[in-house]
Chains A and B, each alone.
Chain A
Amino acid sequence: MVQRRTQDPTLRPSTAADPSAVHVAFEYLACATLWLLVGTAAGLIDALKLNWPDFLVVPWLSFGRIRPIHTNTVFWGWSSMALVGLALYVVARTSRVPLWSPTLSRFSLVLWNAAVIAGVLTLGAGVTRGPQEYREWVWPVALTFGSGLVLNGVNAYMTVATRNIPEVYISNWYILGAFCFLTILFTTGYLPFYQHGLGNVVIQGYYMHTAVGMWFSMLSLGIAYYAIPRVLGRPIYSYALGVLGFWTNILFYTLIGAHHFIFSPVPWWLQTTAILFSVGMMVPVWAGGCNLLLTFRGASGVLRRSYAAPFLVAGIVAYVLVSTQGTLEAFRTSNIYWHFTNFTVGHSHFAMYGFVAFVIWGAAYGLVPRLTGAEPNPILVGIHFWLALVGYGIYVVSISIAGILQGFSWVAGEAFIKSVEAAEPMWLWRTVGGVLMVASHLVFIVNLWAMRPRSSLVALPAAPAAEAST
């Protein structure tokens, strides 16, 4: 059993892999993983503070300062760097050309690391734009990050523009789209001209929602559309469904940010529009999710033996489930019970961890050894998978129960402190889940190191091998 698992059957050395793209992708993954450690350490500190409020009573470690450090570091440090590292590789690979400018992306990585470091330090020092979620960074920090974003976008675009095949593979639609969307989104979130008073609330709903759906989801799906066919060695179930998912995601997802402010003074038509299109989101979610999952149909042999595939399956299943959960949360009736509760915290971790992080890991395990020729220990990959899956399972279930208990306590008209007492045992379980998640990240570091590119990495001669893109 163990012997069989030590060689991933899907692992065939990649022909025509561009060594510079491999190195760049790995550098992004390595920096991202360091930020994963910092970001989840911050999350764990805040979780412990809800269990023991007297833990670490220090100004720069107080709950309200650590929380934005946690969210922004895992957003912009971990998820963005890891996804973009993989995306740059996918862009070059599916275009059958070397990355347009590895130097540009290396420079962007410096900018991004500088931004995340500055972000941690400024937020820790209390320099913030206030609790406007995911745009707490003051503008110089955001501008540094934004510059890296645009440069990477240019690099991805130019790589596709110089491609060696006529078609633009579906992954590149999602990836190039994501760079456009985050550029517009960041600019909209930071320009002040329409953000006085209630205007700010309208923008906040749009910003925090579409940041997740038009950046992280788009990149994750784009990478999944490459990684899943590549790992399985078979084409995607339906190319057309991928295209349908792309356009419907743009149309529906953009319009639903106001569902974060149901029953607020935000114009009622805007709230209703948001709820309607939240239902519409079922189209891209089920089209995209089922499309990716159907690609696995009949490939159970690979699924059993590959260590990358389980991450990808778990990630896509989480994508479908968490998006459906999001639609259910948008309704006015469910909002009464769920809004303002910890249920939202469960939802966001389900999305950013269960979906995004698992796709990143699946793609990293599925693609990086193929490029570097260096495999991680499959037993350790298995330990990573189960620690992460069980850890976040405990996390999401317990924090969601906490949210439901809070909601019912409020609806019952109890004193507020009763809802705190009701949630407390669940907060302890949440910390248990969080510890397992952090432990899994330590295992991932070991595995990532084992997959590192060695200096002997050279370009193999191009061969007309069957690719996922054909």
Chain B
Amino acid sequence: MSFHTSHRAIVAFAFFGYLALTVLIAILPAVSVQNTPGIPGATPRSELAEQGRAIYLREGCGYCHTQFVRDLPLDRPYGRATVAEDYANEDPPLPGTERTGPDLSNVAARQPSDVWHLLHLYNPCSVVPQSVMPGFPWFFEEKAAAAEGDVTVPVPPRFLSGQGRVVVAGQEARALVAYLLSLRQPALQP
């Protein structure tokens, strides 16, 4: 049998060779790490924050924001280095490959204000003038007056379409902010 004249040999070697390498380099390592337990004492996400995570996935936030801090000096502003335990209950985990915006692993510690996050989601330039992040104004409602129980957002007038109107955070905005405020790295046991 020669490879040059046997399509069966070529395809069989390529198929099973690649399959074997896949098992060795991807599937077995994945199996060995997938059941890493979470960090003891870490607070589970609330129902609202869980909804917020689904919106975070839906809107593709993870294309520009990593949740993956490396043990490198340039990553120190974002928190401690990410460990396997941080991804334990994340399906899927969101390490990301690009930082067009900053890492969010520990954003709640860095920016704990819900008002800031609401303003930032409504129009990022209202809090960071140079920002290139997309706004999500459709998560909010502009009204003549706030009703009982409304979460109003103090948007500066120049970002509003009409005078004397108030911006009220919708369900999606509140959920997304709840998720962002849940992004706080739990302390590791020494």
Q: Which residues of A contact B (CB under 8 A)?
A: 49-50, 53-54, 57, 59, 62-65, 67-68, 126-133, 157, 160-161, 163, 166-168, 172-173, 176-177, 180-181, 184-185, 188, 194-204, 206-207, 214, 243, 250-251, 254-255, 257-258, 260-261, 263-267, 270, 273, 336, 340-342, 344-345, 406, 410-411, 413, 416-417, 420-421, 424
When distances are taken between beta carbons in the complex, the residues of chain A under 8 Å from B99 are 340-341, 406
Q: How far is the CB of B50 from chain A (nearest CB, A)?
A: 14
Provide the residues of chain B in CB contact with A421, threshold 8 Å: 130
Q: Does B64 contact A (CB under 8 A)?
A: yes
Partner of B22, one of A68, A195, A206, A420: A206
Q: Is B151 an interface residue (CB 8 A)?
A: no
Q: List, sorted by A's number, 10 A–B pairs whose CB atoms are closer than 8 Å.
A: A53-B125, A53-B134, A127-B58, A131-B61, A131-B94, A132-B92, A133-B97, A202-B30, A203-B27, A416-B77
Nearest 8 pairs between A and B by C-beta?
Answer: A64-B60, A199-B34, A131-B62, A199-B30, A263-B70, A206-B26, A126-B58, A130-B57
The answer for the CA separation of A185 and B23 in the assembled complex, in Å, is 11
Q: Are B61 and A64 in contact (CB under 8 A)?
A: yes
Q: Which residue of A lies closest to B103 (CB)?
A: A340
Most chain B CB within 10 A, of A184, A202, A250, is at A202
Instruction: Check A176–B14 contact: CB distance below 8 A.
Output: yes
Contacts of A273 in B (CB 8 A): 25
- A411 proximity list for chain B (CB < 8 A): 73-74
B19 to chain A, nearest CB (A): 6
Query: A340-B98, A413-B74, A416-B102 given as contacts; is B89 within 8 A of A197 (CB)?
Result: yes
Closest Cβ–Cβ distance, residue B7 to chain A (whole Å): 5
Closest beta carbon of chain B to A327's beta carbon, Å: 18
**For window 7-22 of chain B, which residues contact chain A by CB distance below 8 Å?**
7, 10-11, 14-15, 17-19, 21-22
With A202-B29, A411-B74 known as contacts, the answer to whether A417 contacts B128 (CB < 8 A) is: yes
Q: Quick check: is B166 within 8 A (CB to CB) of the other chain?
A: no
Docked CA distance A290–B29 (Å): 35
Say yes or no: A194 contacts B59, CB within 8 Å: no
Residues A417 and B134 in contact, CB atoms below 8 Å apart: no
Residues of B126-145 at the interface with A, using a CB-CB cut-off of 8 Å, are 128, 130-138
Tell me whether B74 and A49 are in contact (CB under 8 A): no
- Any chain A CB within 8 A of the CB of B6? yes
The CA of A49 and the CA of B63, in the complex, are separated in Å by: 14
Q: Which chain B positions have C-beta within 8 A of A188?
A: 22, 26-27
Q: Which of B41-49, B79-87, B112-120, B175-183 is found at the contact surface with chain A?
A: B79-87
Q: How many residues of B contact A (CB 8 A)?
A: 74
Q: Which of B7, B29, B63, B88 contacts A172 (CB 8 A)?
A: B7
- In this assembly, does B5 line the interface, its C-beta being within 8 Å of a C-beta of chain A? yes
Question: Are A203 and B4 within 8 A (Cβ)?
Answer: no
Bound CA span A5–B64, Å: 47
> Is there an interface contact between B87 and A201, defined as CB atoms closer than 8 Å?
yes
Q: Does B90 contact A (CB under 8 A)?
A: yes
Which listed residue (B36, B92, B100) contacts A195, Cβ 8 A? B92
> Do A336 and B87 touch across chains, with their CB atoms under 8 A apart?
no
Q: Which residues of A contact B102 (CB under 8 A)?
A: 416
Does B91 sit within 8 A of A, measured CB to CB?
yes
Q: A214 touching B136 by the CB < 8 A rule? A: no
Say yes or no: B132 contacts A53, CB within 8 Å. Answer: yes
Q: Which residue of A lies closest to B128 (CB)?
A: A417
Apart from A250-B14, A254-B25: 12 A-B pairs, beta carbons within 8 A: A50-B132, A63-B60, A63-B134, A68-B63, A131-B63, A200-B34, A200-B91, A201-B87, A267-B29, A267-B33, A341-B99, A420-B131
B6 CB contact (under 8 Å) in A168, A336, A341 = A168
B52 to chain A, nearest CB (A): 13
Q: Which residues of B contact A413 (CB under 8 A)?
A: 73-74, 77
Do B21 and A254 touch across chains, with their CB atoms under 8 A apart? Answer: yes
- The residue on B at minimum CB distance from A410 is B74
Which residues of B lie under 8 Å from residue A184 when comparing CB positions? 15, 18-19, 22
Query: B130: which A residues are within 8 A, CB to CB?
Result: 417, 420-421
Asked whether B147 is an interface residue with its Cβ less than 8 Å from the other chain, the reply is no
Name the one of B3, B10, B71 contacting A263, with C-beta atoms under 8 angstroms.
B71
> In the complex, which residue of chain B has the Cβ closest to the Cβ of A214?
B18
Task: List chain A residues, Cβ under 8 A from B97.
Answer: 133, 260, 340, 344
Known: A57-B137, A176-B11, A195-B34. A270 touches B5 (CB 8 A): no
